Amino acid sequence: MLVTNFASAHPDKVEQALLTHFATGAHPMTNAQWSDLTHQVTAKVLGGPELVHLGPAQGLMLNGASDGFVLAESPEAAKAILPKREISVAAWVMLHQTAPDGGIISLAQDNGDYEKGWILGYDENNFTFAIASTGADDGNGKLTFLKSKSAIKPDRWHFVVGTYDGAKMRIFVDGKPEAESVEQSGDIQYPPKGRYVMGAYADDNELTLMDGALFEVKVYGRVMTETEIADVAAKNQGLLGYVGAATNAFNFIVKPYLQFGTRTSMTVMCETEKPAQMAVSYSQFQPLTNKVGRSDLQNISEVTISNLLPNTVYYYRVIATDAASNVLRSDVYSFQTAPNADQPWAFGILGDTQRNPEVTRKCAEGIFALRPNFMLHCGDVVDDGFAKNQWVADLFEPCSQLFAYVPVFPVIGNHEKNSHWYYDYFSMPAPEYYYTYTYGNAQFFMIDSNKDCKPGSEQYERIERDLAASKATWKFAAHHHPCFSSDEDDYGDRWKGSPLKPLKSGDTNARHLVALYEKYGVDIVFAGHIHSYERTWPIMQMAVNMNKGVRYIISGGGGGGLEQAAPQRAWFSLHVQRGHHYCFATIHDRTIQFKAYDIESRLFDTFELTKPDGR
């Protein structure tokens, strides 16, 4: 995509249009660089500006948070393209939100009394044009700021021009002169350092990124006349009259999050305030050149991107368009596809987030800080599966950063109550309550332990069929209810020893699966439900078996009210500990390193295991 403008036959005659007219058919260079059509300027792209139709213009939408362009890293690097004295800066711009010290295009330093360079920009209400010249230099430079008389209309195209002829500065808005000054005279005084930026104001101690759209920005080494400026405005009444919602006329309820990442695909989901058509822009490099979307209007939407490369990072952004063509754009995030079997990888483990967003946020941040490939959730993702606000406020909001960058693979707990929201918000392969996936050299078996797990049950048959067929080096199972637990009261009252509640030390339904795990060599079984941490010895036929045993880990510390173990040690327990926490596992080849952290990121349990060949 790019950028024109009048490539002059005689650039040395200063009829230079240095940057830019963003036009369809232009294209990005690699490594997030764009050049203008005069090929005099190569801009570094910040964030992921996006080309969108805004009325008669195709504008580049900037999000005000990460998007912008660096035209040159220093005044020296921009020397050949910067006007020395006469200058006109003309921009078609649409602002969604204004800010103090905003910039459309600038190369300046405005640090206390030190004021050099020039800026075409805006403040909270008006457009501004500032110049520092040699004639007005007070020792460390002096900028004169012209301010437009008319106020900025948000989400409307404006044609803003600043001119300076070596004696007089003027600012024009929508073709009309609005202010002038003769304070400056002589050559423009550039700072020795500073960045030449577009869609931004930047100096040594400030960076203001524009929230809005640019259609065209031109810098001339001559003075545009009042008539010329009025003519441009007159010819573009369609632009000036365009009324449309530019950005974020509606909002996300749940920001973009990732689901079911494989070696070659990733599913992106989000929830919007209004039914909207969801699309995802993505690519390996910014700007985002690929797009995949759907045509139906949904509140909770999902888009699956396929044909991706394994173990590869992609940038992405969600664009949602409502029935009235209002457009909502997310920030730019990234995801990584799953690795091949011979590559190392890692995953976070969290359970029982329930309804404690402060703790859940700490856990999610702790896991994200360790940069997993994905997160496994052991169920009870919310406290009441039918309470929609809990999904939004207690799960997705505190996990929003983690879930935007890594997919979450959940199992369903009892607190979800088998609510439709679980199946609406998560996108897993059929039948969804049970699914299996391969990641690196491992296969995961994700089980609904609320459902029947007895031999002969539908789920049992599925699990056995999939386990029998698995060729993965590592086999991991996950379900909400634990097969083994030391908890004081959940499986019979171990504390009071009531004869009415005989000790069970684990979930009797889930316990049916132990035979399968032992038969097919499952390595680790993850569970939640007990709001605590517990790791068993390797278990085979109800005894510790260091060579062939299956390890069971309870990680139910994501937020739910804490529980504790019975006073007496259970035979299977290797490490039991009360406290909110999360876990993290890294895997390469036949080695796994496992860690458990409290919510202050302090390690409290770890083990490393290397499987012998053939096991």
Minimum separation from the CB atom of position 516 to Fe ion (A): 22
Pairwise CA distance, residues 28 & 69, whole Å? 13
Rounded (5°) CA angle 378-380-385: 140
Q: In whole angstroms, what is the distance from residue 97 CA to residue 87 CA?
A: 27
Nearer to Fe ion, 288 or 350 (CB): 350
Q: Which is nearer to Fe ion, 212 or 413 (CB)?
A: 413
Q: Is 294 exposed, middle or buried, given 0-12, 13-18 or 19+ CB atoms closer than 10 A?
A: middle
- Tokens linked to 127: 């457009």
**Stretch binding Fe ion (CB under 5 A), from 142-150, 332-340, 348-356, 396-404:** 348-356
Minimum separation from the CB atom of position 529 to Fe ion (A): 4
Closest approach, Cβ 387 to Fe ion, in A, equals 15
Q: Does 487 bind Fe ion (CB under 5 A)?
A: no
Contact call for residue 558 and Fe ion (CB under 5 A)? no
* Sheet of 551-555, strand order: 435-439, 442-446, 474-478, 524-527, 551-555, 533-536, 573-577
Supply the Cα-derived Rg of the chain in whole angstroms.
30
Question: Smaller CB distance to Fe ion: residue 141 or 560?
Answer: 560
Stretch that binds Fe ion, among 59-67, 340-348, 393-401, 526-534 (CB under 5 A): 526-534
User: Which of 211, 380, 490, 507 forms a contact with Fe ion (CB under 5 A)?
Assistant: 380
Cβ of residue 490: shortest distance to Fe ion, in angstroms? 9
Which tokens go with 456?
Answer: 């002969």
Tokens found for residue 463: 């699990």
**Nearest distance from C-beta of residue 352 to Fe ion, angstroms:** 4
Q: Does 581 participate in binding Fe ion (rule CB under 5 A)? A: no
Helix (H) or strand (E) holding 351: none
Length in residues, the chain: 615
Are 171 and 127 spatial neighbours (Cβ–Cβ below 8 Å)? yes
The stretch near Fe ion (CB under 5 A) out of 136-144, 317-325, 345-353, 517-525 is: 345-353
Shortest Å, Cβ 482 to Fe ion? 10
Instruction: For residue 352, state whether it binds Fe ion (rule: CB under 5 A).
Output: yes
The correct pick among 48, 59, 191, 413 for binding Fe ion (CB under 5 A) is: 413
Burial 575-609 (b: 16+ CB within 10 A, else e): ebbebbbbbbbbbbeeebebbbbbbeeeeebeeee
> Which C-beta is closer to Fe ion: that of 155 or that of 380?
380
Cα distance between residue 191 and residue 117, in whole Å: 6
Nearest to Fe ion of 1, 527 (CB atom)? 527
Q: Could you tell me which stretch among 71-79, 405-413, 428-436, 564-572 binds Fe ion (CB under 5 A)?
A: 405-413
CA distance 146 to 243: 27
Q: Name the one range near Fe ion by CB under 5 A: 14-22, 291-299, 410-418, 468-476.
A: 410-418
Here the tokens at position 188 are: 């423009």
Binder of Fe ion out of 414, 438, 545, 577 (CB under 5 A): 414
Cβ nearer to Fe ion, comparing 268 with 399: 399
Contacting range for Fe ion; rule: CB under 5 A; set: 72-80, 118-126, 197-205, 408-416: 408-416
Q: Is 271 one of the binding residues for Fe ion (CB under 5 A)?
A: no
Q: Which residue number, 211 or 380, has a Cβ lying nearer to Fe ion?
A: 380
**Can residue 385 be called a binding residue for Fe ion (CB under 5 A)?**
no
Interaction of residue 394 with Fe ion, rule CB under 5 A = no
Residue 560 near Fe ion by CB under 5 A: yes
Q: How far apart are CA 466 and CA 381, in angstroms?
A: 26
Beta-bridge partner residues of 4: 21
Number of chain positions touching Fe ion (CB under 5 A): 6
| 142 interacts with Fe ion by CB under 5 A | no
SS3 424: helix
Stretch of 31-39, 235-243, 347-355, 464-472 lying at the interface with Fe ion (CB under 5 A): 347-355
In three-state secondary structure terms, 560 is: coil
- In the complex, what is the shortest distance from the CB of residue 383 to Fe ion, in angstroms, rounded to a whole number? 8
Residues whose CB falls within 8 Å of the CB of residue 399, separated by 6 or more in sequence, listed in order? 257, 353, 360, 361, 364, 408
Closest CA to 215 of 241, 242, 197, 239: 239
Q: Is there a contact between 271 and 287 (Cβ–Cβ < 8 Å)?
A: no
Neighbours of 410 (CB within 10 A): 25
CB closer to Fe ion out of 191 and 559: 559
Phi and psi dihedrals of 365, rounded to 5? Answer: -65, -40
Task: Please identify, using beta-carbon distances, which residue of 258 and 530 lies nearer to Fe ion.
Answer: 530
Q: Does 601 bind Fe ion (CB under 5 A)?
A: no
Query: Within its chain, how far is the Cα of 18 from the centroid?
Result: 33
Shortest distance, CB of residue 509 to Fe ion, whole angstroms? 13
Q: Please identify, among the stretches 318-326, 337-345, 560-568, 585-593, the one whose residues bind Fe ion according to the rule CB under 5 A.
A: 560-568
Is position 529 an interface residue for Fe ion (rule: CB under 5 A)? Answer: yes
What is the binding site for Fe ion (CB under 5 A)? Answer: 352, 380, 413-414, 529, 560
